[in-house]
């Protein structure tokens, strides 16, 4: 399974203005590869993730999944592809009024028929239940399965989101700043969890991080974005000295670009 983006551009319309978020990006991910995505706030990381799981469509270029252009897929084919890609967002992954277990079970939605889904709301199928409990177990939250998602702490919520991704059992895991809202100790723990779980079953893992140290230490390959273009793509060991300093030097350049991003799209929270 190969996964790539080819000269992808993305414009957002904001009123009459057009904001360029990505500017002709080329990337290829090999099966089982672990990649860290770096870049200043507003560089286009979230946009790239949304393109990769077909939540938004590129303005130009193509996202290829197993050689198929995602833009040409039918609705059912897109869902089939999304089922094989698990996404973990920075925050607000979970439906707040459902329990941890119910949220975890949602990972199976892509495989289920509508009838199975409805039945599952009232009485989840035994095998689904087992899988979900296993997933919760492996993120260490089995005892919290009946707690509502909005009663969990930020770190626990993130772990439930990972459990849901495990329930989904995808070939690719996309994680968009999964630890940006957590304290450093917890962040480290969650990243270890993710890399361990991904390595265990040879899943591709693409993760965006603001903590450069961890990224370079844990991930063999680093990709850095800057103002919507790929600035560096290569082994993490080659990121040092000048390059390392440049990585975030452009952070202040964001203001050159129109930065009227709304809500979650444009957050400046960062772990130092």
Partner 1 sequence: MGVVPTTTSSASVSSSAPSQRSLTLRKSLTALGFAVVMAICWRAAEVHPVELFSADTAAGLWKFLSGLFPPDLSASFLRTVLKATGQTLATAVAATILSIVMGLPLGILASATLWRRGILVEGARRGPGFFILSGLSSLTRALLGFIRAVPDILWAILFVTMVGLGSLAGTLALAVAYSGLVGRVYSDVFDTTDPRPLEALQSTGASRLQVFMRGVWPQALPNLIGYTLYSFECCVRAASVLGLVGAGGIGYEIGISMRLFEYGQGLTLILAFIGLLVLIDVASRRLRALSNRGAAKPRVGRRSQLRWILLTLAVVAGAGASFYFSGFTPEVFEENNVLKHATHFIGGMFPLEMGLGFISKLSGLLLQTFAIAFLGTLIGVCFGSVIALPATASLIFLEPDSTGHHGIAERSLRWLGFWVARLILNLLRAIPELLWVLVCILAIGIGPFAGTIAIGLHTAGALGKLYAEAMEEVPRRPIEALYAVGARPLQVFFRGIWPQAKPILRNYTLLRWESNLRVSTILGLVGGGGLGQAIYNNIQLGFYDRVATMILLIYALVVASDWFGHRLRASDMKNYMTLPPA
Ligand X SMILES: Nc1ncnc2c1ncn2[C@@H]1O[C@H](COP(=O)(O)OP(=O)(O)OP(=O)(O)O)[C@@H](O)[C@H]1O
Rule CB under 8 A: choose which of 39, 107, 178, 261 binds partner 1: 107
Tokens 């000269």 sit at which residue?
7
User: How far is CA 192 from each of CA 3, 121, 253, rounded to the nearest angstrom?
Assistant: 24, 32, 32
**Min dist. Cβ of residue 109 to partner 1 (A):** 4
The site that binds partner 1 (CB under 8 A) totals a number of residues, namely 48
Q: Which range of residues in 118-126, 134-142, 235-243, 258-266 is near ligand X by CB under 6 A?
A: 258-266
- Window 21-60: contact mask with ligand X (x via CB under 6 A): x-----------------x-xxxxxxx-------------
Q: Please list the alpha-helical segments (H only) found in 86-227.
A: 100-105, 114-122, 126-138, 154-168, 184-200, 212-218
Q: Within positions 47 to 106, which residues make up the interface with Mg ion, using CB under 5 A?
A: none
Q: Within positions 171 to 230, which residues make up the interface with partner 1, using CB under 8 A?
A: none
Q: How far apart, in whole angstroms, are the C-alpha atoms of residue 38 and residue 222?
A: 7
What residues are paired with 8 via a beta bridge? 25
What residues are paired with 76 via a beta bridge? none
For residue 94, state whether it binds partner 1 (rule: CB under 8 A).
yes
Q: Within positions 29 to 48, which residues make up the interface with Mg ion, using CB under 5 A?
A: 46
- Which of 16, 91, 27, 34 minimizes the C-alpha distance to 207? 34
Mapped onto helix, strand or coil, the DSSP state of residue 240 is: coil
For residue 83, state whether it binds partner 1 (rule: CB under 8 A).
yes
Give the distance, in angstroms, between the CA of residue 234 and the centroid of all CA atoms in the same chain: 20
For residue 146, state whether it binds partner 1 (rule: CB under 8 A).
yes
**Min dist. Cβ of residue 237 to partner 1 (A):** 32
Q: Which H or E run contains 80? A: helix 75-83
For residue 111, state whether it binds partner 1 (rule: CB under 8 A).
yes
Contacts (Cβ under 8 Å, ≥6 apart) of 269: 180, 181
For residue 187, state whether it binds ligand X (rule: CB under 6 A).
no
Which residues contact partner 1 by CB under 8 A? Answer: 50, 53-57, 71-75, 78-87, 89, 91-99, 102, 106-107, 109-112, 114, 117-118, 121, 146, 148, 161, 164, 168, 264
Which residues contact ligand X by CB under 6 A? Answer: 12, 14, 19, 21, 39, 41-47, 257, 259, 261, 265-267
């Amino acid at each position: 399974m190969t996964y790539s983006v080819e000269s992808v551009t993305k414009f957002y319309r904001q009123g009459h203005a057009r904001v360029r978020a990505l500017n002709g990006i080329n990337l290829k991910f090999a099966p089982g590869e672990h990649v860290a995505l770096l870049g200043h706030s507003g560089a286009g990381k979230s946009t790239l993730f949304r393109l990769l799981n077909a939540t938004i469509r590129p303005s130009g270029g193509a996202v290829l999944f197993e050689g198929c252009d995602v833009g040409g897929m039918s609705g059912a084919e897109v869902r089939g592809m999304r089922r094989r890609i698990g996404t973990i967002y920075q925050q607000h992954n979970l439906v707040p009024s459902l329990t941890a277990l119910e949220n975890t079970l949602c990972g199976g939605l892509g495989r289920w028929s509508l009838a199975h889904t409805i039945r599952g709301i009232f009485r989840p199928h035994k095998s689904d239940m087992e899988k979900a409990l296993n997933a919760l177990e492996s993120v260490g939250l089995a005892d919290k399965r009946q707690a509502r998602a909005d009663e969990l702490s930020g770190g626990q919520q993130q772990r439930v989101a990972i459990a849901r991704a495990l329930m989904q059992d995808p070939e690719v895991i996309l994680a968009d700043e999964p630890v940006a809202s957590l304290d450093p100790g917890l962040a480290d723990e969650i990243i270890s969890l993710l890399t361990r779980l991904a390595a265990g079953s040879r899943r591709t893992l693409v993760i965006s991080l603001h903590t450069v140290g961890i990224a370079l230490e844990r991930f063999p390959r680093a990709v850095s974005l800057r103002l919507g273009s790929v600035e560096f793509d290569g082994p993490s060991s080659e990121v040092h000295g000048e390059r390392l300093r440049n990585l975030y030097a452009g952070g202040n350049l964001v203001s050159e670009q129109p930065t009227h991003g709304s809500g979650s799209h444009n957050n400046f929270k960062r772990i130092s």
